[in-house]
Amino acid sequence: MIKAGIIGGAGYTAGELIRILVNHPEVEIVFVHSTSNAGNFLYDVHSGLLGDTQLRFSDSYDLSAVDVLFLCSAHGKSREFWAENACPAGLKVVDLAQDYRDESEGYVYGLPEWQRDRIRSAAKIANPGCFATAIQLAVLPLAAAGLLKSTVHVTAVTGSTGAGVKPSATTHFSWRNNNLSTYKVFEHQHLKEICRNLGQLQPGFDVPVQFVPMRGDFARGIFASVTVDCPLPEEEALSLYKDYYADAAFTFVSDRPVDLKQVVNTNKCIVALEKHADTLVVSSAIDNLLKGASGQAVQNMNLLFGIPETSGLKLKASAF
């Protein structure tokens, strides 16, 4: 059994991670660390875990007792954690924050559809951002073919869980319900990792990615719409995408329009294409807490330990 530890266990991503790992056939959770919740049952915070586990939050941890460590704390906290702790030899790390997405300090960017082989041989994984996952999966085949020659226009809407468990003015139910808004237009933090990675996949990539993020009035999921100039006929573009994702465990190309209910509660990304004159419109849908965070983290763990990529992740969509 793979022995797992979790740092920062009280947030949404940690809750989803625990939900997956308690049912994972190859994993035993050794500790879930949370100073503010130490001594409480996990289900006292993550109520959906009632009946699944009797584990309690801990205010201490022994890194030498685990094979893999998941870092689920806020952005910036991972670097602080390693400034205060030594990493034992042989410990695998999956960091869900943005601290090492530039692949500094030996981390590998954990987007399996792009870097599966590197992930398998890595020791430390920087899990991608949720928007970054949805957007990159919408354009990776084009970048790999050298076809991103003009501005990439992106509009993407996310559920309220993307803002984290701590309430704020724009995540409060009475504000979010029956409402829609943009934020961080052209300045979202995930643009940095998106542009960096597209530049590696398509040498010489230097076109703008103009990203308009939107807050949706639903809890979970990301729906991204990407518009880009493309010389390929629709049939050839569709073939390009299906070939690129032929071996992907969780990314699928649909011949019909995609919707969020196909992916929410799963680790899937579903991509659909439409061609209008010289413009290709690519729709991409994921669950922001699963393929956009904790599900992808477990997918990366599976690759790190050489077990089937889909282990623990055969989840049914909440279709109704």
257 and 110 within one domain: no
Helix residue ranges per DSSP H, the chain: 12-21, 42-45, 77-84, 112-120, 130-144, 173-176, 190-201, 234-244, 294-304
Considering only CA atoms, which of 267, 300, 315, 251 is closest in space to residue 96? 300
> Is residue 215 predicted with pLDDT exceeding 80?
yes
The model's pLDDT over 265-311, given as tens digits with 9 standing for 90+, comes to 999 999 999 999 999 999 999 999 999 999 999 999 999 999 999 99
Distances (CA, A) of 194 to 111, 143, 155, 262: 11, 11, 14, 24
Give the model confidence (pLDDT) of 237-272 as tens digits.
Answer: 999 999 999 999 999 999 999 999 999 999 999 999
Count of structural domains, the chain: 2
Q: Judge if 151 and 280 occupy the same domain.
A: yes
Q: Please report the pLDDT score of residue 16 as a whole number.
A: 97
> Is 169 contained in some domain?
yes
CA dist., res. 164 & res. 289, Å (int): 10
212, 88: one domain: no
Whether the pLDDT of residue 188 is over 80: the answer is yes
Q: Could you tell me the residue range of the domain that residue 145 belongs to?
A: 130-286
130 a catalytic residue = yes
What type of residue sits at position 190?
H
Q: List, for residues 130-183, the tens digit of each pLDDT value.
A: 999 999 999 999 999 999 999 999 999 999 988 777 777 787 777 888 999 999
Mean pLDDT estimate for the chain? 95
Here the tokens at position 173 are 């139910």
Instruction: State the average pLDDT over residues 86-91.
Output: 96
The CATH number for 113's domain is: 3.40.50.720
CB 295 within 8 A of CB 16: yes
What pLDDT score was predicted for residue 172? 74
Across the chain, how many H-helices and E-strands are there? 9, 13
Indicate whether 152 and 84 sit together in one domain. Answer: no
Same domain, 42 and 186: no
Residues of the chain with pLDDT > 70: what percent? 100
pLDDT at 68: 98
Question: Considering the domain boundaries, does residue 310 fall inside one?
Answer: no
Give CA 140 to chain center in angstroms: 15
d(CA 268, CA 246): 14
Whether residue 85 is contained in a domain is answered as yes
Q: Which tens digits make up the pLDDT trace of 62-87?
A: 999 999 999 999 999 999 999 999 99
Q: Which of 72, 87, 130, 195 is catalytic?
A: 130
Transcribe 204-227 into DSSP letters: T----EEEEEEE-SSSS-EEEEEE
Domain assignment present for 317: no
